[in-house]
């Protein structure tokens, strides 16, 4: 049996994740770390992601015969090389061809290294000596950005040796025609309102699924995002915020309530209406099933998160200040907003150069517009 990730229930009734070794035994140091993350209210998806990252880490350590307590920097380098291999390569069943694609890219590897670093930092603060941390971390200066878990003790962060150079990818956005096609492909008002809400607010899908009726302020045209526990595991990742919306969205909400929601007794805005369990809040899995059907109808691939990228990109193109976009998206820092959405398509670059007179316009109607 390989190393596996299992969902568990903590003593207080909340859920978490753990790693089980090939002998069907829980990996105690990983279990303690993941339980701690759950207790301090880290996102369930974050805890789950860390569980899979640490599963790979301990599978590697077991294969090379290194104890997690005695890991050194060179072992992490070997771990990076191991992650690049396919599962069959890792097991020694096949040889890697020079032109073969890497199993894990730089972004994925960096995320796994971050999980490993946080795991070791947690145990070092509990008295376990971790050799590689002394050569791969450095103290924060005053006013520096601090990672999560920094509040547990002396602030540290990984040095550059623990990160790979990853190509920066611009977030994929939807065109206005694609957004319209998705909305037109929806057969029910609930579904059309859901995607129109994603497009008109930039909310994450977890934030949308966690909305209650009280969160929609119809008179003021405001959507209130609130961090709370939800029975469908939906989550507001970045805390509370208010997002102004167009009156058209409020009208879609009212039509949805009148025509489809009816007298259903439920606090949640988005619920199962035509599939069991009826009347229960929609889950992420139900939304993804809907997305797959819409992909077939529209003929192109899209994800719920692309609506958020599209919303933010369009606001910045319309010269909405970055700090306003930050507030609307719920980013902790405006630098996150700027760094994520600093991309411009070549047509927008050309438009900017034409508007300053640096390039001549290819549109005859614009000729002479920039002349004195």
Catalytic-labelled residue, pool 305, 317, 348, 369: 305
Nearest Cα to 275, choosing from 286, 262, 284?
A: 286
Annotated catalytic residue, options 237, 292, 301, 369: 237
Residue 227 CB partners (closer than 8 Å, separation 6+): 235, 236, 239, 240
Per the residue annotation, which of 84, 308, 309, 311 is the catalytic one? 308
Could you say which of 84, 192, 309, 331 is catalytic?
Answer: 331
305 tagged catalytic: yes
Rounded Cα distance between 41 and 19, Å, is: 19
Does the annotation count 341 as an active-site position?
Answer: yes
Known catalytic residue at 268: no
- Of the residues 84, 120, 204, 309, which is catalytic? 204
Is 331 among the catalytic positions? Answer: yes
Which positions are catalytic?
A: 204, 237, 305, 308, 331, 341
């Amino acid at each position: 049996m390989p190393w596996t990730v299992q969902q568990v229930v903590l003593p207080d009734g909340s859920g978490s994740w753990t790693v089980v070794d090939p002998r069907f035994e829980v990996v105690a140091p990983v279990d303690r770390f993941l339980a701690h993350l759950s207790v301090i209210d880290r996102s369930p998806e974050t805890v789950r992601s860390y569980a899979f990252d640490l599963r790979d880490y301990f599978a590697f350590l077991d294969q090379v015969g290194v104890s997690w307590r005695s890991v050194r920097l060179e072992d992490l380098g070997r771990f990076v090389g191991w992650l690049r291999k396919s599962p069959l390569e890792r097991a020694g069943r096949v040889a890697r061809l020079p032109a073969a694609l890497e199993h894990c890219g730089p972004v994925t590897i960096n995320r796994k290294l971050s999980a490993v670093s946080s795991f070791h930092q947690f145990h070092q603060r509990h008295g376990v000596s971790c050799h590689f941390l002394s050569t791969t971390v450095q103290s924060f200066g005053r006013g520096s950005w601090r990672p999560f878990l920094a509040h547990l003790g002396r602030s540290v962060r990984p040095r550059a040796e623990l990160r790979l150079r990853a190509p920066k990818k611009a977030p994929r956005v939807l065109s206005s025609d694609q957004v319209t096609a998705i909305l037109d492909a929806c057969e029910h008002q609930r579904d059309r309102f859901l995607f129109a809400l994603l497009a008109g607010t930039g909310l994450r899908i977890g934030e949308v699924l966690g909305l209650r009726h009280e969160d929609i302020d119809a008179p003021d045209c405001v959507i209130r995002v609130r961090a709370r526990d939800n029975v469908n595991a939906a989550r507001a990742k970045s805390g509370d915020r208010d997002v102004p919306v167009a009156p058209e969205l409020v009208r879609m909400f009212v039509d949805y309530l009148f025509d489809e929601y009816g007298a259903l007794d439920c606090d949640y805005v988005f619920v199962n209406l035509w599939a069991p369990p009826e009347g229960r809040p929609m889950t992420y899995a139900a939304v993804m099933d809907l997305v797959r059907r819409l992909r077939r109808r529209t003929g192109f691939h899209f994800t719920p998160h692309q609506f958020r990228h599209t919303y933010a990109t369009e606001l910045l193109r319309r010269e909405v200040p970055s700090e306003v976009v930050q507030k609307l998206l719920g980013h902790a820092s405006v630098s996150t907003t700027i760094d994520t959405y600093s991309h411009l398509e070549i047509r927008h670059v050309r438009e900017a150069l034409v508007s300053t007179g640096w390039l001549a316009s290819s549109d005859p109607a614009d000729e002479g517009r920039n002349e004195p």
